[in-house]
């Protein structure tokens, strides 16, 4: 079966997914496109022979669409995710599921009413081979219980339109999801520490910043977010456990040696660093849709990450630690 996909909001991320689906991913085809910019929808659709829809609502309702990918900007997600759930169609939504925890709650409610898991949130690190190997070691129990975790999320640069809260809602949200996923438990509280600011780039940003998270069982986690480091897309993670540690190693396949020493290249953006993860993520989603199953992170994961982000954004201005306010997890998601 070929899953007929409707793509909403094909910006950089959406176009990269389309390219993957067209070239390396099996059993899926993007047959429909909509965008708030009709010119963009037209251009993208023409390139792949897809149909253009004037609105996302019409695309979701179309009989020609089996499943929906939402790659538009965060504030537009809620309405389209709800429409897809009500149409009974599987939906892959890029992060954030929705910008606020209360909008995510509406999604949880609608999905439970629909009676089956339809929503997958695009937390691609869960599909990265090195993170998967790290999690397998943590889960094996061979090095004991995790006690401390260090996460580093560095970008070479961000555009000026990157607002003050985006270090948390757009960038740190990945680390928040990864920490929950690695530990298999929720984050209970968050504090934000503000180091000396870089002189590079924008005065409206606290850059870098450090989230100090505490998990439900008391694991201490620091997440460094530095989005104008001027040199690389640099992702690091280390888990310190009772009788050993495990961390991601360098991601490059080759090392070069010459007159100035030994070196390897660094990745410069998320598509380069997580290219393989994106392919696995989208392939697993399409294959699961074809089987009538669910895969990847759930609406609950999108909601829990939003709750931690809400607390972290508060902690940017209020003294921490701020408690993370979560509803009890419905059995539907356990
Ligand atoms: C972007 O949206 C991502 O998801 C990247 O992984 C992250 O590094 C970047 O800061 C975000 O803007």
Q: Which atom of ligand 1 is nearest to 273's Cα?
A: 6
CA–CA distance from 157 to each of 9, 112, 281 (Å)? 23, 40, 26
By most ligand atoms within 8 Å of CB, the mutation choice from 174, 236, 278 for ligand 1 is 174
- Alpha-carbon gap, residue 8 to 141, rounded angstroms: 42
Of residues 274, 286, 282, the one with CA closest to residue 20: 282
Could you give the residue ranges of the DSSP H alpha helices within the chain? 12-23, 38-48, 56-61, 77-86, 101-114, 129-140, 166, 173-183, 270-273, 275-291, 299-317
Say if residue 134 is in the same domain as residue 262. yes
Q: How far is the CA of 170 from the centre of ligand 1 (A)?
A: 6
Say if residue 287 is in the same domain as residue 206. no
Say if residue 286 is in the same domain as residue 319. no
Output the residue whose Cα is nearest ligand 1's atom 10.
Answer: 171
Say if residue 175 is in the same domain as residue 119. no
Say if residue 225 is in the same domain as residue 238. yes
- Alpha-carbon gap, residue 80 to 70, rounded angstroms: 8
CATH of the domain at 53: 3.40.50.720
By most ligand atoms within 8 Å of CB, the mutation choice from 74, 99, 177, 270 for ligand 1 is 270
Q: How far is the CA of 33 from the centre of ligand 1 (A)?
A: 23
- Alpha-carbon gap, residue 119 to 85, rounded angstroms: 8
3-state secondary structure of 49: coil
By most ligand atoms within 8 Å of CB, the mutation choice from 12, 170, 207, 225 for ligand 1 is 170
Of residues 149, 139, 142, the one with CA closest to residue 244: 142
CATH of the domain at 258: 3.30.360.10
Q: pTM for the full model?
A: 0.96
Tell me the residue range of the domain where 73 lies: 3-124+276-297
Output the residue whose Cα is nearest ligand 1's atom 8.
Answer: 171
Output the residue whose Cα is nearest ligand 1's atom 3.
Answer: 171
- Alpha-carbon gap, residue 14 to 8, rounded angstroms: 8
Say if residue 165 is in the same domain as residue 89. no
Q: Are 307 and 325 in contact (CB under 8 A)?
A: yes
Q: Which residues have C-beta within 8 Å of that of residue 194, sequence separation ≥ 6?
A: 206, 209, 210
Say if residue 195 is in the same domain as residue 310. yes
- Alpha-carbon gap, residue 295 to 284, rounded angstroms: 7
- Alpha-carbon gap, residue 180 to 122, rounded angstroms: 15
Q: Which atom of ligand 1 is nearest to 233's Cα?
A: 8
Output the residue whose Cα is nearest ligand 1's atom 11.
Answer: 171
Say if residue 138 is in the same domain as residue 259. yes
Which pLDDT value is given to residue 201?
Answer: 82
- Alpha-carbon gap, residue 148 to 140, rounded angstroms: 17
Using one digit for the tens of pLDDT, what is the confidence trace for 207-260? Answer: 999 999 999 999 999 999 999 999 999 999 999 999 999 999 987 778 999 999
Phi, psi of 194 (to 5 degrees): -120, 95
Which pLDDT value is given to residue 14?
Answer: 98
Ligand 1 proximal residues by C-beta, below 6 Å: 155, 170-171, 174, 227, 270
Say if residue 133 is in the same domain as residue 248. yes
Output the residue whose Cα is nearest ligand 1's atom 7.
Answer: 171
Which pLDDT value is given to residue 280?
Answer: 98
Say if residue 174 is in the same domain as residue 282. no
By most ligand atoms within 8 Å of CB, the mutation choice from 97, 171, 225, 272 for ligand 1 is 171
Q: How far is the CA of 171 from the centre of ligand 1 (A)?
A: 5
Q: How many domains does the chain have?
A: 2
Q: How far is the CA of 42 from the centre of ligand 1 (A)?
A: 26
Say if residue 261 is in the same domain as residue 291. no
Say if residue 19 is in the same domain as residue 111. yes
Residue spans of the chain under pLDDT 70: none
């Amino acid at each position: 079966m070929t899953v007929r996909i409707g793509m909403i909001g094909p910006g950089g991320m959406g176009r990269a997914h389309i390219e993957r689906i067209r070239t390396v991913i099996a059993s899926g085809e993007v047959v429909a496109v909509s965008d708030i910019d009709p010119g963009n929808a037209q251009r993208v659709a023409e390139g792949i022979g897809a149909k253009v829809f004037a609105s996302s609502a019409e695309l979701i309702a179309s009989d020609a669409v089996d499943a929906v990918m939402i790659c538009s900007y965060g504030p537009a997600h809620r309405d389209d995710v709800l429409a897809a759930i009500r149409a009974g169609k599987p939906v892959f939504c890029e992060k954030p599921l929705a910008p606020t925890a209360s909008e995510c709650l509406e999604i949880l409610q609608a999905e439970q009413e629909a009676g089956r898991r339809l929503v997958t949130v695009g937390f691609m690190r869960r599909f990265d081979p090195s993170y998967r190997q790290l999690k397998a070691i943590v889960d094996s129990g061979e090095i004991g219980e995790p006690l401390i975790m260090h996460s580093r999320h560095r970008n070479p640069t961000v555009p000026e339109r990157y607002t003050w809260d985006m270090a948390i809602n757009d960038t740190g949200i990945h680390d928040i999801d990864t920490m929950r996923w690695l530990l298999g438990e929720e984050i209970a509280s968050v504090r934000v520490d503000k180091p000396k600011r870089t002189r590079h780039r924008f005065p409206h940003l606290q850059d870098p910043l450090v989230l100090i998270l505490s998990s439900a069982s008391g694991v201490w986690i620091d997440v460094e977010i530095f989005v104008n480091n001027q040199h690389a897309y640099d992702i690091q993670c280390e888990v310190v456990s009772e009788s050993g540690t495990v961390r991601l190693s360098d991601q490059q396949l080759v090392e070069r040696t010459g007159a100035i020493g030994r070196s390897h290249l660094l990745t410069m953006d998320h598509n380069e660093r997580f290219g393989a993860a994106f392919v696995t993520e989208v392939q697993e989603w399409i294959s699961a849709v074809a089987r009538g199953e669910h895969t990847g992170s759930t609406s609950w994961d999108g909601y829990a990450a939003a709750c931690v982000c809400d607390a972290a954004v508060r902690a940017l201005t209020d003294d921490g630690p701020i408690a993370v306010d979560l509803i009890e997890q419905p059995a539907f998601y356990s």
